[in-house]
Amino acid sequence: MNATDLPAAIRAKRSYLCVGLDTDATHLPKGVGSGAAGVLAFNKAIIEATKPYAVAYKVNVAFYEAMGTEGWHVLEQTRAALPDSCYLIADAKRGDIGNTASRYAQAFFGHLAFDALTVNPYMGTDTLEPYLAYPKGDIFVLACTSNPGFAHFENLMLANGRRLYEEVVAQCQSLTPAERVHFVAGATHITALQAVRTLAPKAVLLVPGIGAQGGNLSLVSKTGFSWQAPLLVNASRSVLFASLEHDFAQKAAAEAARLAAEMSVILESL
């Protein structure tokens, strides 16, 4: 799936929910086992439980890399279990010089066949070009993230009157093809999210920070959603760990359904 397919997918499900598979091997519920095998069993159960409500999945690569060789195999098997009818994001936050970036593109867009990859732009726009030179795959550029450290660098005021994250978004507007360039904008910094939307009116915004981090879904949606360039609101811990008992999949489904129902109501009002 491409980002251009998202409006149709959102209309069909009346949801713009992205389920984050930040699966912690040390924090698994009862009944799924432990280690790499437990993570895979858990992921498959979560995917099956949430796929009626999710239009996207975001797999946080760090949780799989932490398990070494076994973790990479779980990442491959998790990707194979994800529905191709959903938009699939590898959350790896890669950022490096061109020849290295081209290998990251090959790994995530080629070998693993993800639809999109999160990337770190702070070495310059030339480090993003290799991803767009690859025949397929969208990028989500880190702009204003949801963590408190957003204030340390991303929100610094520059001499030209822009915040650093605004300069990042503005300069990324010159990347081509433009329809493959999108941004991460945290739900916990609503003014920054609004600024990103203004600077990038045609980009999809991947929005972390709803749920465990306290972002307001209604406010985020009214600030950043448009049918031309929708939001993907990510929920990870609030869905994954809605229960640590044997009913974890049912509770995950219930939380995903609750979020999707709220999104459906919001969509009616937009």
pLDDT at 209: 86
Q: Which two tokens stand for residue 223?
A: 């600030």
Active site residues: 93
Q: Which of 270, 261, 267, 141 is nearest to 196 (CA)?
A: 141
Residue 13 CA to residue 127 CA, distance in Å, equals: 35
Q: Which of 61, 59, 68, 79 is nearest to 36 (CA)?
A: 68
pLDDT at 26: 93
Residue 155 CA to residue 248 CA, distance in Å, equals: 38
Domains of the chain: 3-269 (3.20.20.70)
The answer for 33, left when phi > 0, alpha when psi is -120 to 50, beta otherwise, is left
pLDDT at 151: 87
**pLDDT beneath 50, residues of the chain:** none
Residue 140 CA to residue 24 CA, distance in Å, equals: 23
pLDDT at 211: 67
